[in-house]
Structure 1
């Protein structure tokens, strides 16, 4: 009898509160949680989960709690579409992701058609925000910005070098390489080798032989850390004395694991390191206390969730289109990256790209460190 009474009371409570037990705000996190780019997927996941936990502890989004839903796209566009459709079926309102531009671009169309806002911490191809969709935002920069910085750096610092420009034929890698080539060529620097390789390739002997024959001393790489590490290591093994320069796609300490000691001196562009911001000291320590180094895109993902929450508060709504409008009209919003506001395309107004150099840190391990300007 007592059990029946309690059940009746519980049922009455659910009805009285109008189903408030189901009021979680679902935020999907899409990225490569398995496969060769899983390190980047972990950054997106851990950043979003920590932001959700911190926001929930402070009262949530407009009084509702965030629930993170994961979707593993394995850096594959087709799988990204499957993840997008799953998010639609799950009732997700917002997506933090994806990591790859080649996944983010097609997935964003599924989201746009189904009333879901997407904010990527990492997809830098300009096309993502250039199609006039209402729902596309990013907390990172664009490859035309990044390539411009890289191209100028090459022209300013290696004007007498013989440069090879290599990419992985993906929307990200090829786009970044072409933007860098454009800026370098405009500054009077012409490459001696221009090639593309396939993602997943393991043996770069033929490419390295071609670069040796051309006397290459600088390799500009448009792609991710997996192939970059192999190129660096194999070039050193085969006697090609060349420095590799790349973009944000190699900002994982896994690069050093693949390349070994040959990684020393490698250069890459990335945004100003958010872990160095004094305001983030406690947040960084929180990640490290949990056994996770918040490198690269971790705080970009954290900031993406912060932005959704702040824009929803400004809009006084969790409707995705209302939040999208607020993101463009109500900023700036305070985040781990600093104050963020967005233009009409959904691109953030943030400081530009800077250069990093790979070298041994105080712990004796190789990592990337922001160069003095």
Structure 2
């Protein structure tokens, strides 16, 4: 006589079996209509809100790489594969980012390109690490991300230790600043960059006369700027994004605060110039990497990307490279399982759009360059590139 197993017991057994699988066994193995195995790639960035223009730029960089990879008809592990982009809106919010991260784990993605912000990348990285997933950030620059000891955490651009050092020295030695005021938005990115800038500026002989704080949702900086005007700085440094940097420089003009204005990659955008208008003229900012036109494959990327998606905002080339690095590691490992291709990521030596990409023992980009730009006649003009060692 057959023994009948209750459905509830069977369901529990199936659930227990699924939970007992190792992370590498839980990656998606769905089949596309073409017969290829579907390999899910997670991407997270702010797709709504004041940073949505940057988030969509990142998303499109990953999307273009995936489209090109799928057009090649790759075979990995003896099977045709088709990459599928699963993109989520983390709203640049650390709490939402961790929810998104858990969704990616539950959806059994094979890897993550993201997040955009340091403040979302760092907390989500613990979830990915616990699940045994690979995460390549194209734009999070806070050094803490790769200082946590997570084997699956990598980034394809220079970090804020490098960027802050270049900016601090440039402010004192190239811009002639002696009295410097600092404002940061208290995010992991803005505060981290401002702190590194302050250390470097002091070491170069600059005097920090004030350090004020705002947040990444603010739009009125009149009180802070009035206070800063009272100490008459030569230069104001802002650690934060373009949505706050643009109204800040406009309000500086309105108040008659004649200090030079300097920021990091968060304000080096087309959107900054659009929002700031005439007040953008003369603003100085940095961006990790060499100028796009000097990147190994920059001109070709620019033509293809802007033909599809419009003007590059900021990080799209790095997102494209991050996806290509991940796919190349999978091919070398002959597997899309994170545990199997992760060791190959660490061995990466990839000639990308942005640089020849190699990682150090922490997962940071080796030899990352920093370029300083200034707005001249409505365009970001190169002032100086400092190549990392």
| CA gap 1:250/1:340 in 2 versus in 1, 3 angstroms | same
Is residue 319 of structure 2 the alignment partner of residue 301 of structure 1?
yes
Question: Which residue number in structure 2 is paired with residue 75 of structure 1?
Answer: 92
For the Cα contact (< 8 Å) 1:61–1:309, is it kept in 2? no
For the Cα contact (< 8 Å) 1:73–1:80, is it kept in 2? yes
Residue range with higher mean Cα deviation, 281-290 or 174-183: 281-290
Query: Match of 1:24, SS?
Result: strand
Is residue 53 of structure 2 the alignment partner of residue 35 of structure 1?
no
Query: Pick from 34, 39, 45: which aligns with 1:25?
Result: 39
For the Cα contact (< 8 Å) 1:233–1:258, is it kept in 2? no
For the Cα contact (< 8 Å) 2:39–2:110, is it kept in 1? yes
For the Cα contact (< 8 Å) 1:225–1:252, is it kept in 2? yes
In the aligned structure 1, how far is the partner of 2:136 from the partner of 2:152? 8
Per-residue CA deviation, residues 210-230 of structure 1 (Å, 9 max, x unaligned), is 121111231111111111111
Query: Match of 1:33, SS?
Result: coil
For the Cα contact (< 8 Å) 1:208–1:235, is it kept in 2? yes
In the aligned structure 2, how far is the partner of 1:171 from the partner of 1:254? 22
| CA gap 1:25/1:160 in 2 versus in 1, 3 angstroms | closer
For the Cα contact (< 8 Å) 1:250–1:268, is it kept in 2? yes
Question: Which residue number in structure 2 is paired with residue 357 of structure 1?
Answer: 374
Question: What's the TM-score once normalised by structure 1's chain length?
Answer: 0.90
Question: Which residue number in structure 2 is paired with residue 277 of structure 1?
Answer: 295
In the aligned structure 2, how far is the partner of 1:275 from the partner of 1:61? 33
Structure 1 portions without partners, runs of 5+: 1-17, 361-365
Question: Which residue number in structure 2 is paired with residue 344 of structure 1?
Answer: 361
How many pairs were matched up? Answer: 350
In the aligned structure 2, how far is the partner of 1:119 from the partner of 1:275? 24
| CA gap 1:61/1:195 in 2 versus in 1, 3 angstroms | farther
| CA gap 1:189/1:280 in 2 versus in 1, 3 angstroms | closer
For the Cα contact (< 8 Å) 2:121–2:140, is it kept in 1? yes
In the aligned structure 2, how far is the partner of 1:283 from the partner of 1:150? 27
In the aligned structure 2, how far is the partner of 1:113 from the partner of 1:224? 30
Shift of 1:372: 4.7
Shift of 1:20: 4.0
Question: Which residue number in structure 2 is paired with residue 9 of structure 1?
Answer: none
Is residue 371 of structure 2 the alignment partner of residue 371 of structure 1?
no
Query: Match of 1:293, SS?
Result: coil
Shift of 1:276: 3.9
Query: Pick from 202, 210, 213: which aligns with 1:196?
Result: 213
In the aligned structure 2, how far is the partner of 1:372 from the partner of 1:61? 43
Shift of 1:255: 0.7
Is residue 310 of structure 2 the alignment partner of residue 292 of structure 1?
yes
Query: Match of 1:193, SS?
Result: strand
Structure 2 portions without partners, runs of 5+: 1-28
Shift of 1:341: 0.9
Is residue 182 of structure 2 the alignment partner of residue 168 of structure 1?
no
Question: Which residue number in structure 2 is paired with residue 310 of structure 1?
Answer: 328
Please show how residues 24-63 of structure 1 align to structure 2 within 5 Å.
24-60=38-74, 62=76, 63=80
Query: Pick from 199, 204, 220: which aligns with 1:182?
Result: 199
Question: Which residue number in structure 1 is paired with residue 352 of structure 2?
Answer: 335
Query: Considering only aligned residues, what root-mean-square deviation do their CA atoms show, in Å?
Result: 1.7
